[in-house]
Structure 1
Amino acid sequence: MSSASPLQSGPWDVHRLPPAEGRTFLVTGGNAGIGYFVAEQLAATGAVVVLGSRDAAKADAAMTSIRSRVPGAQVRHLHLNLADLSSLKTAVDALDLDHLDAVVHNAGVALDDPPRRETEDGHELMFGTNHLGHFALTQWLAPLLSAAPAGRIVTVGSFAARSERVDLDDLQSSQNYRPKRTYGRSKLAQMCFGFELDRRLRAVGSTALSVVAHPGGALDSLTPSRVPIHVTTPGERLRALPVGLLVQGKDAGAWPVVRAVLDPEVRGGQLWGPRLFGMRGLPRREQVPSHMADPAVAAHLWTASAKLTGMDPHHNFS
Structure 2
Amino acid sequence: MSSTSSAPPWDVHRLPRAEGSVFLVTGGNAGIGYFIAEQLSATGATVVLGCRNPARAEAALTSIRHRVPGAQVRAIRLDLADLSSLSAAVESLEVSALHAVVHNAGVALDDPPRRETGDGHELMFGTNHLGHFALTGLLMPLLSAAPAARVVTVGSFAAKSERLDLDDLQSRRDYQAKRTYGRTKLAQMYFGLELDRRLRTHGSSVESAVVHPGGALDALTPSRPPVHVRSLGARLRAAPAALLVQGKHAGAWPAVRAVLDPAARGGQLWGPRLFSLRGAPRHEAAWSHLADTAVAAGLWDASCDLTDHLRSLGARPSARRRLSGPCDASNS
Distance 1:255 1:92 in 2: 26
- How many Å apart are 1:314 and its aligned residue? 4.0
1:132 CA displacement: 0.2
Q: Could you say which residue in structure 1 is the equivalent of 2:252?
A: 254
Q: Secondary structure at the match of 1:95?
A: coil
Residue from 154, 157, 173 that aligns with 2:155: 157
2:178 is aligned with what amino acid?
A: K
d(CA) in 2 for partners of 1:80, 1:312: 19
Report what 2:127 is aligned to: 129
Q: Write the deviation string for residues 179-219 of structure 1: whole angstroms up to 9, x where unpaired.
A: 00000000000000000000001001111110001100000
2:211 to 194, 206, 213: 213
SS of structure 1 residue aligned to 2:311? coil
Residue 315 of structure 1: how far off its partner (Å):
3.5
Pairs within 5 Å for 1:234-253: 234-253=232-251
Q: Answer whether contact 2:105 2:128 (CA < 8 A) is retained.
A: yes
Q: Which residue of 2 aligns with 1:274?
A: 272
CA distance, structure 1, for counterparts of residue 95 and residue 3 of structure 2: 33
**Secondary structure of the residue that 2:313 maps to in structure 1?**
coil
**Runs of 4+, deviation exceeding 6 Å:** none
Residue 326 of structure 2 is matched in structure 1 by none
- CA displacement, residues 236-271 of structure 1 (integer Å, 9 cap, x when unaligned): 000000111000000000000100000000000000
Q: How does 1:269-308 map to 2 (within 5 A)?
A: 269-308=267-306
C-alpha distance in 2, partners of 1:68/1:103?
A: 23
Letter in 1 for 2:266: G
CA contact (8 A) 1:275 1:281 kept: yes
Single out whichever of 276-285 and 302-311 deviates more from structure 2: 302-311
Superposition pairs of residues 51-200 of structure 1, within 5 angstroms: 51-200=49-198
Distance 1:3 1:171 in 2: 37
* Match in the other structure for 2:4: 4
Q: Contact 2:124–2:181 at 8 Å: present in 1 too?
A: yes
Q: Unpaired segments of 5 or more residues in structure 1?
A: none
Which whole-Å CA distance do the structure 2 matches of 1:303 and 1:135 have between them?
Answer: 11
Note closer, same or farther for the CA distance 1:3–1:143 as it changes in structure 2 (3 Å cut). closer
Structure 2 distance, partners of 1:315, 1:10, is 36
2:71 aligned partner, one-letter code: A
Q: Secondary structure at the match of 1:272?
A: strand
Matching residue of 2:37: 39
Q: Could you list the runs of 5+ residues in structure 2 that have no partner in the other structure?
A: 315-329
User: Corresponding residue for 2:17?
Assistant: 19
Q: 1:312 to 1:207 in 2, by over 3 A?
A: closer
CA RMSD between the two structures: 1.5
Amino acid at match of 2:230: T
- 2 CA distance for matches of 1:102 and 1:3? 18
Q: Distance in 1 between matches of 2:242 and 2:154?
A: 22
Classify 1:94/1:286 alpha carbon distance in 2 versus 1 (closer, same or farther; 3 Å). same
Query: Helix, strand or coil: the match of 1:241?
Result: helix
**Kindly, what percent of the aligned residue pairs are identical?**
72
Give the TM-score of the pair, scaled to structure 2: 0.93
Q: Note if contact 1:5-1:264 (Cα within 8 Å) is conserved in structure 2.
A: no
Q: What is the Cα deviation at residue 292 of structure 1? A: 1.2
Q: Note the alpha carbon deviations across 1:3-38, whole angstroms, 9 max, x for none.
A: 5355xx310000000000000000000000000000
